[in-house]
Chain A
Amino acid sequence: MSERNCGRRVAITGTGVVSALGTGVEKFWSAIKAGENGIAPIAGFPLQDLYITIGGEVRDFDARDLCKSRGAQLSDPFTQYAVAAAWEAVRQSGLEGPLGERAACIVGSGAGGVTTQEKAYEDIFVHKKKATHPLTLLKTIISSSPAHISIEHGIKGPVFGTVSACSTAAHAIGLAFQMIRSGMMDVAVAGASEAPLNYGCMRAWQAMRVLSPEGCYPFAKRRNGTVIAEGAGILLLEDLEHARARGATVLGEVLGFGMTSDAADMVNPDIEGPTRAMQIALDDAKLSPADIDYLNAHGTATAANDINETRAIRKVFGAHADSLAVSSTKSMHGHCLGAGGGVEAVVCVQAMRDGFIPATIGLDEPGEGCDLDYVPREGRYRALGYTMSNSFAFGGLNAVLVFGSAIN
Chain B
Amino acid sequence: MDDVAEKIIAILRKNMRHPEKEIALDTKLADLEIESLDLAVIVFDIEDTFGIQIPYNANEEMADFATVGSVVDKVTTVLVSQNASGAAA
**Residues of A participating in the B interface, judged by any CB pair closer than 8 Å:** 70, 129-131, 133-135, 138
Q: Is the CB of B41 within 8 A of A135?
A: yes
- Would B41 and A130 count as touching, CB distance under 8 A? no
Majority SS of interface residues in chain B? helix
Contact assessment for A131 and B44 in the assembled complex, using a CB-CB cutoff below 8 Å? yes
B63 at interface, CB cutoff 8 A: no
Q: B84 at the A/B interface (Cβ < 8 Å)?
A: no
Cβ–Cβ contact B47 & A134, under 8 A: no
State the 10 A-B residue pairs at the shortest beta-carbon distance, nearest first: A134-B40, A134-B44, A134-B41, A131-B44, A130-B53, A133-B44, A130-B47, A70-B17, A135-B41, A131-B47
Q: 1/0 per position for B39-79, CB-CB distance to A under 8 A? A: 01101100110000100000000000000000000000000
Q: Which B residues are in CB contact (< 8 Å) with A131? A: 44, 47
Consensus secondary structure, chain A interface: loop
Complexed CA–CA distance, A135 and B37 (Å): 8
B1-58 residues at the A interface, CB under 8 angstroms: 17, 37, 40-41, 43-44, 47-48, 53
Residue of A129, A133, A134, A135 with most partner-chain B CB within 10 A: A134
Q: A129 to B17, Cβ gap below 8 A? A: no
A-B contact pairs, 17 of them (CB 8 A): A70-B17, A129-B48, A130-B47, A130-B53, A131-B44, A131-B47, A133-B41, A133-B44, A134-B37, A134-B40, A134-B41, A134-B43, A134-B44, A135-B37, A135-B40, A135-B41, A138-B37
Name the residue on A nearest B53 (C-beta).
A130
**In the assembled complex, which residues on chain A have CB atoms less than 8 Å from the CB atom of B43?**
134
Q: Please give, as numbers and ranges, the residues of chain A lying within 8 Å of B47 by CB-CB distance.
A: 130-131
Shortest Cβ distance from A73 into chain B, in angstroms? Answer: 11
* Additional A-B contact list (14), CB under 8 Å, known A133-B41, A135-B40, A138-B37: A70-B17, A129-B48, A130-B47, A130-B53, A131-B44, A131-B47, A133-B44, A134-B37, A134-B40, A134-B41, A134-B43, A134-B44, A135-B37, A135-B41
List residues of chain B with CB within 8 A of the CB of A135.
37, 40-41
Q: What residues of A have a CB within 8 angstroms of the CB of B37 in the complex?
A: 134-135, 138
Nearest Cβ distance between residue A147 and chain B, in whole angstroms?
Answer: 13
